[in-house]
Structure 1
């Protein structure tokens, strides 16, 4: 059988296993090992199955992931997130949809010390949603704000998805993290505009908050000092060339630990933070190992090169192909989680993107933004399921209803990313 045909059959088998509920890590590893064994011989498949996990775990670039994960969980268990939300509430509570606005700002702050979308959503479902309900906010609107706010963790550094993307396609992780900052800020601005417009059109969704004295606002500023410190260390350290992403993550983790000590974090909470870090890191590494085995199988078949060659010889403008890829990811986001979608498609899609002349760093930002849209759209909408899982009294349909106005904002953001690639690449280009 032709190797390229075997590659297509392998992709079909993998998609079928994922649809049947087999975890991506096991499904991709299984198909990859069977495929390599068939193309070469069983001894090669067995050897690569043992070699690839070790080779990828020993990668210096990959060492940044556990540190980024630790920053988020330690900040959450130390109560740093609660302090950031309280400060945001005091400063912007009087704005239209004040608590919703504060939730977006606090979500952006948590994104700067987390990098995990679902973790951010879970934190603010417990923290911000009850506060908004207590003050008379519409439940669907409040739930939608929390779900959308969680997506910021996918772009604003440190972002685990950007790190994984950089490792898979062998692109600079430092440039990806810098490139994610401006689109992350753009997303915050667009979300705030959506909140303002929605509340102006339907004032009953969000009552006006009482004024907070300026002295209380000033006293709240030290509560967000740690968040700004982490952002500064990561962005400035990488931009100035003083630190690698792993080194900046190490310093940022130390800052969070010092803040946790100042807040007298209990040993039990510290243990929970470490346990969550280990569990999440193990899950991410297992997915990477399985998918890298599958990627090696596709390389043996020659399928990625064949697809790239076919795409570049299509008699259509390259923007048409890009538009088709964007639509494909938006549709996949409705049935697959973000990490699985990225790992399953990049081995085939990325060579075509490079062959068409698109910048790998720019495409990484676009891809992560498309994944963000996927985690808040039905039927999968992982962030919406997180909200519903923690608060089963809020129907899933209500969460999706609350998210709906923000999807128009997401279209605007995607349009800006596509239309102005130089803006997305501004910080990486300045670093160079």
Structure 2
């Protein structure tokens, strides 16, 4: 049996294992290890499996992940989300659908310190939905807005998803994080625009908030200042070259921690919980990397990614058409797999073809994350929708999925615009880091 066929069979076995519930770290490690044994022998497989954990864990590139994760847990403990939501509510609540618009904008702001989509959705399901229902907002539309808004954390830095992408394909984490900023803001504005239009056409979907004084609006600004400070620290530190992404993440975590101490929100229990949860999530991600890199080494021996790249390049279609087909595949996979699982499974195979087609890896990364976001809110396994529904059991999940489709269509429109106008993605990294 030739190596390419062995590689294809290995990939099929891997997908089957994931589908039946085997955790991705074990599925990738076992498949990759046994594949190397078949191709190169037991000694080579053992050596590779022994070296990869150390080489991965000691890679400075990956140290950014625990810093960004820690920012999110500290931000949640400090009450930043409540401050951001109060500010958005004070300034936007009077508009048609203003409270739902406030939810979108506050979720985007919290995403700038959280970086985790499901965490953002969970927090706003607890904070925003009770307020939305208090003002007679449509329950399913409110829940859908929260679920969709949670996806903004996947793009707006600090984004764990972008770090995972950059680690897998060996691209600049700094450029990726800067590239995600404008598309993330763009997505939030499109969500807000849709809500404004929808509530303008049908005011019965929710009542605007009246009677907010300018004094109250002025006081609310203080609630978003810590988030702006963290955002400027991360983006400014990386763009000026004063900090690496890891150092920027550490500085951001320090600011959020100091803010929580000043507000007397950080208890010993909260600190202990934040550190333990950060360690748990970091270990899970690093373990997944180990398994995937073993599997990637197996694929490299089979030459399967190279063969797929050469096949895609020879197709009688334009690179843009092939790119759209690949992204459609990601949309389909996103209905069944988690974001990290989807990227870890596919990128070792697909990315060589992207390079051969001449598609910018940074642009492709942002587009992949957008497709990941779509997968987070589409049935049958829209994780953000399930998170919101698990917290708000009084809102039927079927109704949330029906109400989510306009947001899905907005995301599809966003992807189309990012493909047509790549400058939206590349403007910021090219401006501050150069076009190289």
**TM-score, L = length of structure 1:** 0.98
Q: Who is 1:125 aligned against? A: 125
Q: Separation in 1 of the partners of 2:417 and 2:363?
A: 12
**Aligned 8 A contact 1:92 1:101 in 2:** yes
State the shift of 1:402 in Å.
2.2
Q: Who is 1:244 aligned against? A: 244
Q: Who is 2:412 aligned against? A: 411
Q: Secondary structure at the match of 2:224?
A: helix
**Aligned 8 A contact 1:64 1:246 in 2:** yes
Q: Separation in 2 of the partners of 1:202 and 1:160?
A: 37
1:392 is the counterpart of 2:393: yes
Q: Who is 2:29 aligned against? A: 29
State the shift of 1:94 in Å.
0.7
State the shift of 1:423 in Å.
2.3
Q: Separation in 1 of the partners of 2:211 and 2:232?
A: 31
> Per-residue CA shift, 1:360-395, capped at 9, x if unaligned?
111000100110011000011010011112222222
State the shift of 1:350 in Å.
0.6
Q: Who is 2:191 aligned against? A: 191
1:312 is the counterpart of 2:344: no
**Aligned 8 A contact 1:78 1:269 in 2:** no
State the shift of 1:422 in Å.
2.1
> Per-residue CA shift, 1:137-158, capped at 9, x if unaligned?
1110010010001000000000
Aligned pairs for 1:160-309 within 5 A: 160-264=160-264, 265-309=266-310
**Aligned 8 A contact 2:94 2:208 in 1:** yes
1:45 is the counterpart of 2:45: yes
Q: Which moved more, 1:37-46 or 1:149-158?
A: 37-46
**Aligned 8 A contact 2:98 2:196 in 1:** no
Q: Who is 1:105 aligned against? A: 105
Q: Separation in 2 of the partners of 1:397 and 1:202?
A: 22
Q: Who is 1:359 aligned against? A: 360
Q: Separation in 1 of the partners of 2:283 and 2:139?
A: 35
Q: Which moved more, 1:412-421 or 1:267-276?
A: 267-276
State the shift of 1:89 in Å.
1.0
Q: Who is 1:19 aligned against? A: 19
State the shift of 1:44 in Å.
1.8
Q: Separation in 2 of the partners of 1:316 and 1:106?
A: 42
Q: Secondary structure at the match of 2:374?
A: helix
Q: Secondary structure at the match of 1:157?
A: coil
Q: Secondary structure at the match of 1:375?
A: helix
Q: Who is 1:425 aligned against? A: 426
State the shift of 1:397 in Å.
0.6
**Aligned 8 A contact 1:77 1:272 in 2:** no
1:333 is the counterpart of 2:334: yes
Q: Secondary structure at the match of 2:121?
A: helix
Q: Separation in 2 of the partners of 1:42 and 1:150?
A: 45
State the shift of 1:201 in Å.
2.3
Q: Secondary structure at the match of 2:113?
A: coil
**Aligned 8 A contact 2:118 2:387 in 1:** yes
State the shift of 1:256 in Å.
0.5
Q: Who is 2:94 aligned against? A: 94
**Aligned 8 A contact 1:334 1:381 in 2:** yes
Q: Separation in 2 of the partners of 1:111 and 1:139?
A: 23
Q: Separation in 1 of the partners of 2:168 and 2:366?
A: 14
Q: Separation in 2 of the partners of 1:123 and 1:285?
A: 25
Q: Secondary structure at the match of 1:94?
A: coil
State the shift of 1:237 in Å.
1.1
Q: Separation in 1 of the partners of 2:217 and 2:63?
A: 38
State the shift of 1:337 in Å.
1.3
**TM-score, L = length of structure 2:** 0.97
Q: Separation in 1 of the partners of 2:271 and 2:205?
A: 38
Q: Separation in 2 of the partners of 1:390 and 1:50?
A: 42
Q: Separation in 2 of the partners of 1:213 and 1:281?
A: 44
State the shift of 1:47 in Å.
2.1
State the shift of 1:315 in Å.
2.0
